[in-house]
Chain A
Amino acid sequence: MHLFAQDLVNGILAGGILAVVALGFSLVWGIMNIINLAHGAFLMLGAYLTYQLFASFHVDPFLSLPISFVVLFALGYLIQTYLINWVARAPILTTFLLTFGLSLLMVNIALIVWTGDQRGVTTAYSGANFTIADVTVPWTKLFTLLAALAITGIMQLWLTRSKTGRAIRATSMDIGAAQLSGVRVAHIYAIVYGLGAGLAGVAGTLISLSYAVNPGMGDPFLIKAFVVCVLGGLGSVEGALIGGLVYGIVEAFATQLDFTIGTQHISGSGLQDAIALVVLLIVLIVRPTGIMGKATA
């Protein structure tokens, strides 16, 4: 019973991070219909930025959250303006490959700058944790979850209340009508892609607190971001949050699977991608609009 509670808590804590990872991915996909394969690379850059600030200037990782956001937002804005906007309305294959190429570029630049060594952001409070009813909770992961909730809340408010937020939502509903109302679509696209990159950077900062930092660290999060979006419902802020938490819990339990058939030993921890695929297919067949989703094209 206490193992069950521990898995559940671990799942919720991991799910908070997944929600932030998926949030930016979901916005870019929902509003521009672009699957951003460079999302994992932005996340990795955010993590390295945090690492470098911490290692060189002793900046606390939580303080570098806004720095990650601003730097990655600027990078994303420039990439969308000068590269992706040229093919923004092309068939999916084009943007798929373009973002894949960008991802390769960024990962390999990181490999040259920081080499392939594993880096870690180890603060004074890194190992600290507390225990309630036999369930251990690390402080960093709890603060990460709280930060994730706060970021999701801020995004939701900004998208519904601000003028730019409304322009973004208008663009996703009807490009033609938005243009007629004076929305500059190319500019809005650049802002959305910047937001996606910025949120990935923030997620990278949060992830660097609990996971090792290396150039390939973004890849496992990419396919999970996709599954979380499908699970929660595409393009909605609360969908990413719910999807992230649900997927975090499912994964926490699935990776605990451990049994033997004949001489073949099967352990869930080695099958993370297979688990993601199974969840994805089940959701797509049973509830294609996601948990929070309305019917979309």
Chain B
Amino acid sequence: MMTTAVLRRIGLGGITGSPIAIAVALALMVVLLAVPLGHNGYLEIVFRNILMYAAMAYGWNLIGGYTGYVSFGQVAFFGAGAYCSAVLSAHGIDNLFADVALACVVNALFAVVVGLPVLRLKGHYFAIATLGIGLALSDIVANLDALGASSGLAVHHVDEAHFYVYYYAMWLVALATILGTYFIARSKLGFAFVAIRENEEAAAVLGIDATRYKITAWAISAMMAGAAGAVFAPANGFLDPSIAFSIDSNVFPIVMAILGGVGTVAGPFIGALILAGANELLQRYFIKIHTLFFGAMIVIVVLILPRGLVWLFGLKGGARTWLKSLTAFKA
């Protein structure tokens, strides 16, 4: 609540972030259309993962960035979406559209059912309860024989020559999350989300049904993560609880959204591009210490870029404002 007032005073605020940043993000998306033309399987997987993390980062951004409910359980929705594909595949239905559609429906229902008790919690309590949902779902799936338990399931759709299908499917999912975020942010829905983030009681006084809007934000964010999971499962070819509910899929999207800019339209994509790219390079050349680098990167980003890259575009007062923003929350 008070925090946003502090940030506005030092020149940071707004509902979509810099329009220039959005244009840059969309231009980069168009460039990414060309990746499969190179017929390089490795690069295709790297960029498909970037698009996947971007879609998940947008999902997190909607509930954590716009609505101000910091969720640490988006991986539950990603995993649920992935298992939707696996179950359809096990029943002989090999269709990406069906996968994504089922994942969206299942996740929306899942989000409403879980959201009713969990969205009553605030702050730390909400964060840990959502963290618990991801861990608990992973535990439960690992014990369900119907879902392959901890040994996993094979998910197979097309042969290797047609792997570009997955790439374009993931591209479409990512584009849908970017455009979805843009239009939601500028609509009445987006203003309601931000109002809840700024001051839930005040929003309620203005006639915003906080519970309804919170659950809406949570359900849309769940669908975004679920759609990414639904495309990921067949593209990966195999699914088990440690893949579907990995700690990377949980934390990467959050760090990406923060590096790019929380509560902005372009931020999560830019953050995903930079972080997933950097992570890939580190993994390739420094396999033993790449997680160490990642930890250090989180610490540095949080301390020197707490509002993300996108906010630097619209900064009034340049470096002085930026320096001031660093000490705004000092003890």
Interface residue ranges, A against B (CB under 8 Å): 29, 33, 35, 83, 85-94, 96-98, 100-105, 107-109, 112, 185-186, 189, 223, 226, 230, 263-267, 270-274, 276-278, 280-281, 284-285
3 nearest A-B pairs in the assembled complex, by CB-CB distance: A104-B295, A101-B298, A277-B132
**Is the pair A271, B140 in contact by a Cβ cutoff of 8 Å?**
yes
**Is the pair A88, B330 in contact by a Cβ cutoff of 8 Å?**
yes
Closest to A98 in B: B302
Interface residue ranges, B against A (CB under 8 Å): 3, 64, 70, 72, 117-118, 120-121, 123-125, 127-129, 131-133, 135-136, 138-140, 142-146, 251, 254-255, 258, 262, 288-289, 291-292, 294-299, 302-303, 306, 326-331
Residues of A within 8 A of B255 (CB): 97
In Å, the complex CA distance between A94 and B120 comes to 22
**Is the pair A186, B143 in contact by a Cβ cutoff of 8 Å?**
no
24 examples of A-B residue contacts, CB within 8 angstroms: A35-B127, A86-B303, A86-B329, A86-B330, A89-B329, A90-B3, A90-B306, A90-B328, A93-B64, A93-B70, A97-B302, A98-B299, A98-B303, A103-B295, A104-B294, A104-B298, A107-B295, A230-B125, A273-B132, A274-B140, A277-B132, A277-B133, A277-B136, A285-B117
**Is the pair A104, B292 in contact by a Cβ cutoff of 8 Å?**
yes
Main secondary structure of the interface of A (DSSP, over half): helix
Residues of B within 8 A of A276 (CB): 132, 135-136
**Is the pair B288, A112 in contact by a Cβ cutoff of 8 Å?**
yes
Residues of A within 8 A of B128 (CB): 35, 223, 226, 280
CB distance from A30 to the nearest CB of B (A): 11
Q: A93-B258, A93-B262, A281-B129 are in contact. Are A273 and B331 (CB under 8 A)?
A: no
- Contacts A271-B139, A284-B125 aside, 9 further interface pairs with beta carbons under 8 A come to A86-B326, A87-B329, A90-B328, A112-B292, A223-B135, A267-B143, A270-B142, A274-B135, A280-B128
**Is the pair A273, B3 in contact by a Cβ cutoff of 8 Å?**
no
**Is the pair B299, A280 in contact by a Cβ cutoff of 8 Å?**
no
Closest to B296 in A: A105
- Of the candidates A86, A101, A273, which one forms a contact with B138 in the assembled complex, judged by CB atoms under 8 Å apart? A273
In Å, the complex CA distance between A278 and B117 comes to 12
In Å, the complex CA distance between A187 and B133 comes to 36
**Is the pair B303, A284 in contact by a Cβ cutoff of 8 Å?**
no
**Is the pair B132, A88 in contact by a Cβ cutoff of 8 Å?**
no
**Is the pair B139, A272 in contact by a Cβ cutoff of 8 Å?**
yes
Closest to B302 in A: A98
CB distance from B316 to the nearest CB of A (A): 21
**Is the pair B124, A112 in contact by a Cβ cutoff of 8 Å?**
no
Residues of A within 8 A of B251 (CB): 100
Residues of B within 8 A of A86 (CB): 303, 326-327, 329-331
In Å, the complex CA distance between A128 and B306 comes to 53
- Of the candidates A29, A189, A267, A274, which one forms a contact with B124 in the assembled complex, judged by CB atoms under 8 Å apart? A29
- Of the candidates A97, A263, A274, which one forms a contact with B258 in the assembled complex, judged by CB atoms under 8 Å apart? A97
CB distance from A164 to the nearest CB of B (A): 17
Residues of A within 8 A of B132 (CB): 223, 273, 276-277, 280-281
**Is the pair B292, A88 in contact by a Cβ cutoff of 8 Å?**
no
Q: A89-B330, A271-B143, A277-B129 are in contact. Are A94 and B306 (CB under 8 A)?
A: yes
**Is the pair A270, B143 in contact by a Cβ cutoff of 8 Å?**
yes
Q: A93-B262, A270-B142 are in contact. Are A101 and B302 (CB under 8 A)?
A: yes
